[in-house]
Amino acid sequence: MKSLPKRPELEFLKKEARVLRVLQMKGDPACCDRIRDYDTSCEAMSDADILAGKFSINDAQRVIAHEYGYASWAALKKYIELINLPLYHMVTDRQGYHRTITDSYDARSKNYENSEWHREVALTTVKYWPPESGQLVLDIATGTGTIAFHCAELVGPRGKVVGVDISTGMLDKCREKLAERKLANLAFTHADGEQLDFQPNSFDRIYCANAIFWMSNLQAALRHWYELLKPGGVVGFNATPSSSFFWGCAARKALATVGIDFICNIPAGDEANAREMLECAGFTNFRLHAAPNGRYIATEDAKDPPFLTLQAYAPGQYPHPLEDVSDETMQLAQQAYNAEVDKHATEDGVWHDMTQYYVYGQKPADRE
C-alpha cells in the first residue's frame, strides 16, 4: 500500500489517475499489474487483453484509491476533505505547541503515577481489544508507560512493545521503571506520535490513551497510524465526548458567544465523529464502548472556570486561543460562562459528566 503525502491534495491524486489512464491507453505494460492488483477479475488476463480493454478515468481513480488502501475513490476524497478542515489546522507553530505540552508533562511526570483515573483509562483502552502473545505493539504518548508495561506482559518474550512520547520527564520515568523490571521486549523512544519513523506495516496494535486530544491533526495522525499497522492490525484510543467535562464544555460554549474557537474534545468527540474519522483513515470494524461516568460538582466550584485563562490547556490549538483577547471580551465570556453554570445548576450542584468512549478500528487484512 502506498503512503499518502502529509497534506494530500485531490488534484495530485487526480493527476495520478490521469497518468495511469494514459499508460493504459498508450499500451504500456507497466500499468497491468496495478490494474490486476485492484481488479481481481483481471487476474487471469494477459497484458495484451488488459491493454486492449476499456479503462475509464473512473476505473483509474478506483485503482489509485485502492493503492492508497481505500475501498473507493469517494472514500479517499472524503479523507482529503476531512484532513483539510480548519479544525485540524489550529496549531500554526508546532514547536511552540510541543513546548507547552512538554513543559507541563515534564513537571507532572514526578507525580503522574498517582493518578488512578489515568491508569484505569489506559488499561481499559487495552482491555477491549488486547494484543495477543507474540505481537508488536506501539504505545503512542506513553507517558509513564502504563500501557507499554502492561502490553509487554501480554505479548510475552516473543512479542515487542515500543512506547513513544515527546516529554523527556515522562520517558525518564519509563526508563527508571524499565531498569527495575528488566523487560527485554520493551523499549521507549522520544518521538512525536504524529510523525513517526517506523516502517509501514510494522505493528499489530497501536494504542493512544489519554492523549488523542493533543494531536494537532487527529485525522492525519489516524491515517499515519493506519499506515504503520500491519494488515489486520488494530488502533485503540479513548475519546472524551464533547459534552464531557463541565468546565471545558462550558468554556467552549462561553467563548463561542464572543467568537473564539475553543476546540477542546471536539475533534474526537462524539460517536459519529470518531467513526467517520476512523473510516476516512481507512479503518473498518469500528467498535465503541461507552463508559458512562460523572459526579456533581458544587455550583460555586463550577463557577471557577479553569479554562478561561491563558495558563489553561488548549489541546489542538497554538497559539493559545486566548492570546491577545481584550479584557472586555474576556468579561463578556465570563458572563456567558456564569450563565451556562446557572443554566445547569441543580440542588445537587452541576453535573460533571466524565463519560469516556473506548474506540477501535481495524486495518483490513490483505486479500488472499
Ligand X SMILES: C[S@@+](CC[C@H](N)C(=O)[O-])C[C@H]1O[C@@H](n2cnc3c(N)ncnc32)[C@H](O)[C@@H]1O
Contacts to ligand X by CB under 6 A:
101, 105, 118, 122, 141-143, 146, 164-167, 170, 192-194, 209-211, 214
Collect all residues with Cβ–Cβ distance below 8 Å to 319 and sequence separation of at least 6.
92, 93, 96
Helices 73-83 and 10-25 cross at an angle (nearest 10°) of 150
Q: Are 102 and 34 in contact (CB under 8 A)?
A: no
Beta carbon nearer to ligand X, 168 or 334: 168
Rounded to a whole number of angstroms, the minimum distance from the CB of residue 205 to ligand X is 14
Beta carbon nearer to ligand X, 61 or 109: 109
Q: Which residue is nearest to ligand X (CB)?
A: 143
- The contacts found for 109-114 with CB under 8 angstroms, 24 or more apart, are 109/144, 109/167, 109/169, 109/170, 109/172, 109/173, 110/169, 112/143, 112/144, 112/170, 112/173, 113/144, 113/173
Rounded to a whole number of angstroms, the minimum distance from the CB of residue 242 to ligand X is 18
DSSP3 helix / strand / coil % (the chain, rounded to 5): 45, 15, 35
Q: Are 148 and 168 in contact (CB under 8 A)?
A: no
Rounded to a whole number of angstroms, the minimum distance from the CB of residue 170 to ligand X is 4
Beta carbon nearer to ligand X, 116 or 324: 116
Beta carbon nearer to ligand X, 31 or 138: 138
Beta carbon nearer to ligand X, 209 or 280: 209
Q: Mind giving me the DSSP string for 240-253? A: --TT-SHHHHHHHH
Q: Which residue has the cell 512538554?
A: 102
Of the chain, the end-to-end C-alpha distance in Å amounts to 15
Rounded to a whole number of angstroms, the minimum distance from the CB of residue 65 to ligand X is 28
Rounded to a whole number of angstroms, the minimum distance from the CB of residue 130 to ligand X is 16
Q: Looking at this protein, which amino acid is placed at residue 291?
A: A
Collect all residues with Cβ–Cβ distance below 8 Å to 347 and sequence separation of at least 6.
none
Rounded to a whole number of angstroms, the minimum distance from the CB of residue 222 to ligand X is 13
Beta carbon nearer to ligand X, 47 or 192: 192
Rounded to a whole number of angstroms, the minimum distance from the CB of residue 113 to ligand X is 9
Beta carbon nearer to ligand X, 16 or 172: 172
Rounded to a whole number of angstroms, the minimum distance from the CB of residue 325 to ligand X is 25
Beta carbon nearer to ligand X, 39 or 172: 172
Q: Where are the beta strands (DSSP E) in the chain?
A: 136-140, 160-165, 186-190, 203-208, 229-239, 284-291, 294-297, 350-353, 356-362
